[in-house]
Structure formats: structure tokens, C-alpha cells
Structure 1
Amino acid sequence: MPDARAFARSALTAWDVRGRTDDVLLCVSELATNALLHGVPPGRGFLLRLLAYGDDGGVLRVEVHDSGGGVPAVPEPRDGCPGEGGRGLLLVAELADKWGVGERHPGKIVWCEFATPPP
């Protein structure tokens, strides 16, 4: 996901976001990878959006739009260890302040949010 990370890094730099950059970039990479692996039929792509909002722009939202079905969820670990899949969403759930899934026709929007210090 080098293109997705490069896009996100460019936006964060342009917006002068300094806090939590590594967390945001890792979540961008995980959500984009999940979209390609599970949410995009052959020949289709996904849309990555970054939005800053709040009174001081103090919340950064990452959205990945895809046209696949299903609702992603963090899998329950078995015997204290996660299985082969699901580690990406586990990372997103741990690093982001919030995350979730929204409706889109066709498909879904998987998003996460980060409180960021003002520039």
C-alpha cells in the first residue's frame, strides 16, 4: 500500500498534522489492504479519504470506501491468540480512538478517527 501511505503522508504534511502520524499511516495501510483483499471485486478499486474536522481541526478521519459486501469485525482470539486473519482490524481498533463501518451502495465504508493536537 505504498500509494495509499504516500497520499496520507502528503495530506498530513499539508495539514501540519504532527501527532499520531505513524498510527494514522499504519491504519491507512491496514484498511487499504483489507479493501483490496476482501472488499474489491476483480477490476475495481477503492477510495481513500482523509478528513480533518472539529472546531480546531483536531479530529482526523480516515475512510476507505469499497464495493464489497460483508461487515468487517475484529475476530475473537482463540486461546488468547488471534487467528491467521484479523490482525489488521485489531491494530486499527487498538490505535484509533474510534472505528466503524458505514453503508455505501454498493459496498461499505470502513473508517477510523484520531484526536490530533492542533498545529
Structure 2
Amino acid sequence: MNTETQPPSPRERFYRRERRSVPAARAFAREALTAWDVRGRVDDVLLCVSELATNALVHGVPPGRGFLLRLVPCAGGVRVEVHDSGDGVPAVPQADVREPGEGGRGLLLVSELADKWGVGEREPGKVVWFEVGGV
């Protein structure tokens, strides 16, 4: 990320509870990373954006609501936040992920690809975030 001048401003966008929001969120993240001249680990960031956006839609966004995607440049990296109004605290599944079945691998991927990730409180709901350095 080129930070010779002013650091880039955070970017955010709201998405409604619909399937097309996941690819739209990924495209928005790609646009922000490109504008910030991020070249390293772009695929990791985009995959994690997809996973958190999907989790927000499936588990965190009640009908009639949506989620906010926020990207923040930070020292040598990027912080991505997904804000939703749903209850519950996401966690990496403890079961063997090699078992057949759908789902349950998103946060596992995020925990492996991101340098840090976590869950914060907001009213209502939560913020699920991750950080990736070396960009």
C-alpha cells in the first residue's frame, strides 16, 4: 500500500439481505484495494470478505435488514469489518471440518488467512472483523 502522502480514507457500503450482496461486497472490496494500490494478499482479503458477508446474510441479518462492510487501511495492512444486527457470537467450528456437509468452514478460512480476527459488540448486533498485513 502506498502511504507516501495522506493515508487513504476508510470506505464503507451497506448491503441488503439478498444473495447478490456477497459478490457486490467482494467487488466493492476489490475496488477499494485497487484504489489504495494494494497488491499483496488481495485474494486472501477478498475470500475473507466473501466469507464474512455470507455469514452475515445467513446468520446475522434479520429479514428487512442488511449489513455494513467497512474497509480501513492500517499500518502495512487492511482491516475489514462486517457490521450486522443479529444475535450470537460467531466462532470457529470445533467439529472435524472434513465431515461432509455444507457450511461451517467460513470462519475457519478467515482464521487461517487473516493475521487477526475477532468479534466486537454493537447495539444491536455485532462487528466481525479481520486484519491482513503485508499488503
TM-score w.r.t. the length of structure 2 is 0.79
The aligned residue for residue 70 of structure 2 is: 49
CA contact under 8 A between 1:49 and 1:63: conserved in structure 2?
A: yes
Report the 3-state secondary structure (helix = DSSP H, G, I; strand = E; otherwise coil) of the residue aligned with 1:46. Answer: strand
The aligned residue for residue 123 of structure 2 is: 105
List alignment gaps of at least 5 residues for structure 2.
Answer: 1-21
Q: Map of 1:4-43 to 2, 5 A cutoff?
A: 4-43=25-64
CA contact under 8 A between 1:17 and 1:116: conserved in structure 2?
A: no
CA contact under 8 A between 1:53 and 1:60: conserved in structure 2?
A: yes
Report the 3-state secondary structure (helix = DSSP H, G, I; strand = E; otherwise coil) of the residue aligned with 1:38. Answer: helix
Report the 3-state secondary structure (helix = DSSP H, G, I; strand = E; otherwise coil) of the residue aligned with 2:66. Answer: coil
List alignment gaps of at least 5 residues for structure 1.
Answer: none
TM-score w.r.t. the length of structure 1 is 0.90
* Distance across 1 between alignment mates of 2:98 and 2:24: 31
The aligned residue for residue 81 of structure 1 is: 98
2:81 pairs with 1:60? no
CA contact under 8 A between 1:41 and 1:68: conserved in structure 2?
A: yes
* Distance across 2 between alignment mates of 1:97 and 1:113: 6
Q: Deviations over 1:71-114 (max 9, x none)?
A: 00001124x63564320001000100010000000000000000
Identity %: 77
- The residue identity in structure 1 corresponding to 2:113 is L
Q: Which runs of 4+ in 1 moved over 2 A?
A: 80-85
